[in-house]
Amino acid sequence: RRRRRSVKGMFLWSRSSSRLGVSSSSSLSSSGGRRFASCLVVAEHDGGSAVSAGTLAAVTAAKAIGDVSLLVPSGVSAKVEGVSKVLAGPSRPSAKALASFAKERGYTHVLAAVSSSSKALMPRVAAALDASPVTDVIGVVDESTFLRPMYAGNAIATVRTSGPVMVGTVRPTAFEKAADLVDGGGQAVSPDEVADIPEDALAPTVVADGKDASSAGKKKADLATAKVVVSGGRGMKSGDNFAMLDDLAAKFGDSAAVGASRAAVDAGMVGNEKQVGQTGKVVAPDLYVAVGISGAIQHLSGTYGRRHIVVTNATHVPGMKDSKCIVAINKGTSS
């Protein structure tokens, strides 16, 4: 059964699902006779001079809608497959100015990858455009219809927008990353145009979570797109013990990142940029290592898509039904 309800400028159909996400390959489709759509993707940098992995996933989603323009922070080099125009903008764009720019240029969609900065910026852009934002998009049906999770991922909503401009955020783990033709090689690529968007000193910096200027030149996986994630929970007891998880993640190389449960974040062990779960990051690694995490549903909803999981020092083994491999290590025993 489907239930339909309307919100300002938006119609929703919800359907139950045994899965917490939808593969982009199964949800991307084209529709004939649709109006020409053009997307402005607000890029984040990776702490250096390249765009983030989440931005590359947002470009893939935008390519399923129409023509793609990429707005990059000043000083960032970008040459991404499928992008027709690269625009240079400020590192702290004004939401009102960004909305005015999108409206004047006739963009039908303004997208960004889900992150702390986009959660602060995109709702303000939507408000300036008098539009209802569509957050956490995991699939594109057509230019006005999108899929997003609801109820901690236990249902997938089909959302249809009716306004002139759609503003949304894209879940990076739901889409393949577009090819970065610069690929961090340090090659300078000049933008096609400098966008007339002023900087707002109070606005958030468009930078990938966990990255900053000190990250430049350092190879460090983004938590949201890492292939291996090592997370700690309440059982870590203190922030100092997270150094052990850092050492373990380092053994996996540059593709690994360290995360944490909300309990560990609330206890002040680590910063909230490491939180994995319903109110934190959504990850989909090949290997997820949970240390001292009980496996609350709010945490598991942020780890859907993981292929293998290793659980140690947990009261019970979370995610048994949807992981291909479980290794549980509890009090010296394994199964």
Chain mean pLDDT for the chain: 80
Which residue type occupies 64? A
Higher pLDDT, 330 or 30: 330
Look at residue 259 in the predicted model and tell me its pLDDT.
Answer: 95
The answer, yes or no, to whether residue 54 has pLDDT greater than 70, is yes
Q: Tell me: the pLDDT tens digits for 80-132? A: 999 999 999 888 899 999 999 999 999 999 999 998 889 889 999 999 999 99
Query: Can you tell me which residue has the tokens 């019970």?
Result: 316
Q: Which range among 61-65, 118-122, 193-197, 253-257 shows the weakest confidence by mean pLDDT?
A: 193-197
Look at residue 315 in the predicted model and tell me its pLDDT.
Answer: 55
Look at residue 23 in the predicted model and tell me its pLDDT.
Answer: 38
Q: How far apart are CA 186 and CA 183, in angstroms?
A: 8
First to last CA, the chain: 40
The answer, yes or no, to whether residue 327 has pLDDT greater than 80, is no
> What is the three-class DSSP state of 204?
coil
The answer, yes or no, to whether residue 320 has pLDDT greater than 70, is no
The answer, yes or no, to whether residue 46 has pLDDT greater than 90, is no
Of the ranges 240-249, 288-297, 304-313, the best mean pLDDT one: 240-249
Q: What is the mean pLDDT of residues 17-36?
A: 41
The answer, yes or no, to whether residue 4 has pLDDT greater than 60, is no
The answer, yes or no, to whether residue 31 has pLDDT greater than 80, is no
Q: Which range among 11-20, 56-65, 252-261 shows the weakest confidence by mean pLDDT?
A: 11-20
The answer, yes or no, to whether residue 322 has pLDDT greater than 50, is no
**What is the model's pTM?**
0.74
Q: Tell me: the pLDDT tens digits for 198-229? A: 887 666 666 655 554 444 445 567 888 889 99
Give me 326's structure tokens.
Answer: 């479980």
Which of 333, 296, 287 shows the shortest CA–CA distance to 313?
333
Look at residue 202 in the predicted model and tell me its pLDDT.
Answer: 66
Q: Tell me: the pLDDT tens digits for 148-165? A: 988 877 789 999 998 899
Look at residue 302 in the predicted model and tell me its pLDDT.
Answer: 86
Confidence grade of residue 313 (pLDDT, cut at 50, 70, 90): confident
The answer, yes or no, to whether residue 136 has pLDDT greater than 80, is yes
- Enumerate residues 6+ apart whose C-beta is below 8 A from 33: none
DSSP string, 274-325: GBBSTTSB----SEEEEES----HHHHTTSTT-SEEEEES-SS-TTTTT-SE
Interior angle at CA 197, CA 191 and CA 198, nearest 5: 125
- Enumerate residues 6+ apart whose C-beta is below 8 A from 155: 14, 15, 16, 17, 149
DSSP for residue 30: -
The answer, yes or no, to whether residue 37 has pLDDT greater than 50, is yes
Q: Is 319 left (phi over 0), alpha (psi -120 to 50) or beta?
A: left
